[in-house]
Amino acid sequence: MIILFWISLFLIIYTFIGYGLVLFILVRLKRVFKGKNTFTAEEETSWPSVSIIVAAYNEEEIIEDKIKNTFALDYPKKQVQVIFVTDGSTDLTAEKVAKYEDVVLLHADIRAGKMAAIERAIPFVSGEIIIFTDANTFLNKGAIKELVKHYKNDKVGAVAGEKRIFVDEKADASSAGEGFYWKYESLLKKWDYQLYSNVGAAGELFSVRTKLYAPIEADTIIDDHMIAMRIAERGFIIAYEPDAYASETASANTKEELKRKIRIAAGGIQSIFRLKKAANPFNYPWLTFQYISHRVLRWTIVPFLLILVFLVNALLVYRGTIFIYQLIFGLQLLFYVLSLFGWYFEKKNIKVKAFFVPYYFCLMNYAVIAGIVRYFKGQQSAAWEKSKRK
């Protein structure tokens, strides 16, 4: 029982804190022995052609702002193709997009999911680089240049941008927690790439070499992650560029954030079953190390280990074991009490950020368990679910 407790506790700490520390050390060791590769957008003289694909579902309120944001990007206009896919939209999204002559509009009344929408767009692509971005996110002006500069490295097959969440001073648990989570995630992604490769991409903003794009299963739940990882499984690197970023507001409330996280968790477990090469260290050892440390542990056993560690720790304390177990149990109790306060204060609309991060952490891990259950019950649709944003 004691061995089980310490192994489980180690895996939990390693997943959420230890991996970041290991990355930090390895990246600095790599810099000492190999130096640091840097690519600047200003060095490029001949920009590759790009095709920007936006899959939109019932986004009539924001779609024209997205189009204007896309046209305002700093990139040679003759080198940019813009494609909007509005499959299944029942509002005025398609009609509003149709007003813009420079946009390729693809619309179908049938809603078959985001992956099906992307597949419909691929035959129309003319650019050397495909850039995927969501309809409800806005890119910084230099985003495209910052993304494509990495393709000067022939080993790079995909480039992920950064996701940024607007968090104001009056943020609730969903806003504060999501904002903190993405700041930490962005740091890990930066170090992942500096060590070897990213292990996925966020649909808000990422790109791939058109010639490397390969169709994935139509029922794929988190298409962005799978598209990028399938390229990594072929030996190419997924780069990360924090100066190319997509900004969006946080989920409207905790309920909306939970819905989104459960869907991602269901997609995560689906992807683990399908990305067999990434999990095999005999193919690309560094990729496997990063993939398991950064993704697999979070999406599989760690949420269950949190429960196991608490119960085993309680039993060890009950049996009157040494002080260290009492201390660890006390810290666990304190953390979960803070989480409960976070839940209570959010219900009462009281803004105390100190309690929101523990609450969001628990919410995130509950979502993984719920997502796994939903996936194995076959209850998760591949059709993207529009989450309400602030």
Alpha carbons within 13 A on the beta-carbon side of 384 = 24
DSSP string, 144-186: HHHHHGGGGSTTEEEEEEEEEEE--TT--HHHHHHHHHHHHHH
Cα 232 from Cα 278, distance rounded (Å): 8
The answer to the question of residue 87 being in a domain is yes
We report the CATH number of the domain holding residue 174 as 3.90.550.10
DSSP character string of 57-101: SS-TTTHHHHHHHHHTSSS-GGGEEEEEE-TT--SSHHHHHHT-T
Query: Is 221 domain-assigned?
Result: yes
Give the confidence band of 322 by pLDDT, cuts at 50, 70, 90.
Answer: confident
- 95-109, 158-172, 244-258 — which one is most confidently predicted on average? 95-109
> Residue 343: which pLDDT band, with cuts at 50, 70 and 90?
confident
Q: Which domain, by its residues, includes 181?
A: 41-257
pLDDT tier, 7 (very low <50, low <70, confident <90, very high otherwise): very high
Residue 160 lies inside a defined structural domain of this protein: yes
Q: Is residue 20 part of a domain?
A: no
Question: Where is average pLDDT lowest: 89-98, 159-168, 297-306, 356-365?
Answer: 159-168
Task: Tell me: pLDDT of 387 over 60.
Answer: no
The CA-atom distances, in angstroms, between 282 and each of 19, 276, 278, 279 are 21, 11, 9, 9
| The predicted structure's pLDDT at residue 179 | 65
Mean pLDDT of 74-95: 94
pTM: 0.89
The two tokens of residue 236 are 């190419």
Quick: pLDDT tens for 19-43: 999 999 999 999 888 766 666 655 5
The first and second tokens of residue 308, run together, are 């196991």
Alpha-carbon distance 139 to 69, whole Å?
A: 7
**pLDDT for residue 386 is more than 90:** no
> Whole-number mean pLDDT of the chain?
89
- Domain count along the chain: 1
| Residue 344 domain-assigned (yes or no) | no
Please determine, for residue 332, whether its predicted confidence score (pLDDT) is greater than 90: yes
Q: Edge-to-edge, what's the strand order for the sheet holding 138-139?
A: 103-106, 80-85, 50-55, 129-133, 205-209, 156-166, 237-249, 138-139
Residue 207 lies in a domain: yes
- pLDDT value for 353: 67
Task: Tell me whether residue 269 is in a domain.
Answer: no
In a domain, 5, yes or no: no
